[in-house]
Amino acid sequence: MSNLVGGRSNQKMRTHMALVECAAQFVREGKSFTVAEVADSARVGRTTAYRYFPSVETLVVHATLYAATEVEKRSIDAALESKQTVEDRLRSVVEASDVTITDHDYLYRTMLKLSLNNESSDDELLPHRRGARKEVLESAIGMLRTQLGTKRYEKLIGALSLFIGIESAVVLRDVCFLSTEKAREIKVWGALAILKAALAEMDQAGGSKSAKTEDEPLAAKRIVRKPVSRKAAQR
């Protein structure tokens, strides 16, 4: 975002966020808007607003991503408050994410559409979805990193990411024609099954001891032979 670089960067960031937050409110309400309308709502000069967001499409992308991330984070933080076990925490994250997506379906589908369009764009003003669901999952099962080892843990996070976000909802509801309740049940079942498989794989590999050495390059184990004394060899 080149318009945030340079002098008075803190002030520029505050102005940028004021515009994004006001636009996000329009997005939450499902209302269309112009850059000028957002500028007026944020009490920012229209000329200034256009310097930050030359087109309304750019502002819509920022606002939608901001609104979706904010809503999901708030929901998941609340869901994790009283959960202790890894299984309960993972279940809560998957369920809370799905409930949020269902309640704000328009918001998430807008974000998905815009982010897909953004992938083919070279516009540096457009934000990218960077690691939000990974952070969400790590807030739930981050305590497993040491136990599983980095490689196995990262593989688990990647697999569980398939059950968080609008993409899985689109597949289960739009493609598989499942009800909201059935789709949520399958998400939870799949996430817990993968977690169970990862823990079982660790146990089969020898538990935490194997997990700690998992990140080292694989090499054939050498059999260490103790020197045999001449006297023993003559027996």
- Residue 130, CB half-sphere, CA atoms under 13 Å: how many? 4
Question: How far is CA 148 from each of CA 54, 89, 145, 217, rounded to the nearest angstrom?
Answer: 47, 17, 5, 16
Amino acid at 6: G
What's the chain's average pLDDT? 82
Packed helices 105-119 and 86-103: angle between N→C axes, nearest 10 degrees: 90
> Is residue 103 a part of any domain in this protein?
yes
> Is residue 231 a part of any domain in this protein?
no
Which range among 21-30, 102-111, 195-204 shows the weakest confidence by mean pLDDT?
A: 102-111
If one counts the domains in the chain, the total is 1
Q: What is the mean pLDDT of residues 13-36?
A: 92
- Burial of 27 from C-beta contacts in 10 A (0-12 / 13-18 / 19+): buried
> Is residue 200 a part of any domain in this protein?
yes
pLDDT (tens digit per residue) in 194-219: 999 999 999 998 744 544 555 544 33
The residue segments making up the domain with residue 101 are: 85-114+129-210
Report the alpha-carbon angle 20-23-28, nearest 5: 120
**What is the pLDDT at residue 128?**
58
Higher pLDDT, 202 or 118: 202
Report the alpha-carbon angle 137-143-100, nearest 5: 25
**What is the pLDDT at residue 125?**
57
Enter the pTM of the model: 0.71
Q: Which residues contact 28 (CB under 8 A, 6 or more apart)?
A: 67, 71, 104, 107
> Is residue 119 a part of any domain in this protein?
no
The answer, yes or no, to whether residue 33 has pLDDT greater than 50, is: yes
> Is residue 46 a part of any domain in this protein?
no
**What is the pLDDT at residue 216?**
47
> Is residue 29 a part of any domain in this protein?
no
Taking the C-alpha atoms of residue 156 and residue 214, their distance in angstroms, rounded to an integer, is 14
Q: Is 94 left (phi over 0), alpha (psi -120 to 50) or beta?
A: alpha
pLDDT (tens digit per residue) in 137-157: 999 999 999 999 999 999 999
CB 164 within 8 A of CB 133: yes
> Is residue 58 a part of any domain in this protein?
no
Q: What is the mean pLDDT of residues 26-45?
A: 93
